Amino acid sequence: MELISENRAFGGRHCRYTHASAVNNCDMTFAVFLPPFASKDNPVPVLYWLSGLTCTDENFMQKAGAMKMAAELGMAIVAPDTSPRGDDVADSQGEYDLGKGAGFYVNATESPWKQHYQMYSYITEELPELVEANLPVTRERAISGHSMGGHGALVIGLRNPQQYVSVSAFSPISHPLDCPWGHKALGAYLGDNRTAWEEYDASLLLAQRQHYIPLLVEQGRADQFLTEQLKPESLINAAQKSETQLTLNMHEGYDHSYFFIASFIDEHLQFHAGHLGLM
């Protein structure tokens, strides 16, 4: 890990790192907030935050206003980039919803994407192993995200309940098999095999069986992507089908922006802190 920058914040530290990723075959960047008193002798649990389309590791840390509450709770936050980067990494020119900035947290199987776009394995395996080996954190993890990252957090949490104590999402892409963003990304990265797509659809995963991992979702009713892309009702129907407990809060007047995230991020941090044993 190579330190890019370090800033003092709320008594803790915000750091950006780069490292060579064996999974993605390129250099990857991530940010971490370490709360006050986090040390080798006092490691702290981690919330992994997955950002949405076009974002990098910087969006959440700079816009969400999460560090003050994280400092008070004694929680680290790790925010990875949303895709591989670099001159050799495949991209889709002029399309914000495919390629760089749009990794969709899947393991691509199709060319030219499969050489670098292994974001599922990066988030579930390589990144936490790196973080836990080099930073003062425990193996206790929670996961959250926004939009494409909300999709990623739900899918990763539902598929790996042994790795995360709780899952939350803001404005997630809830049913990618039934929306344009999902069709485009999953079709490109995974090909025509719809069975492979199903492994990355939170609504389908939620409906398959009862889940016991705590789930919290926020959604704004004024979100411009609500009807065509996000489809939160799919999560409600899936949770009812599997008899899984899901809290979905709908908010009048809120849109898809970081203004929405900043308005309710404290509640999500407290939700995760309760399950991480910090409250």
Q: Which residues are catalytic?
A: 147, 223, 256
> Closest Cα to residue 144, out of 118, 122, 165, 117?
165
Which residues, listed in sequence order, are joined to residue 5 by a DSSP beta bridge? 16
The gap from C-alpha 135 to its chain's centroid, in whole angstroms, comes to 20
Q: Residue 166, SS3?
A: coil
Q: Residue 55, SS3?
A: coil
Q: Residue 112, SS3?
A: coil
Burial of 40: CB neighbours in 10 Å, binned 0-12, 13-18, 19+: exposed
Centre a 10 Å sphere on the Cβ of residue 253 and count the other Cβ atoms it contains: 8
Query: Which residue in this structure is represented by tokens 């089908």?
Result: 241
- What are the backbone dihedrals phi and psi of residue 49, each rounded to the nearest 5 degrees, phi first? -110, 125
Per the CB < 8 A criterion, the answer to whether 61 and 155 are in contact is: no
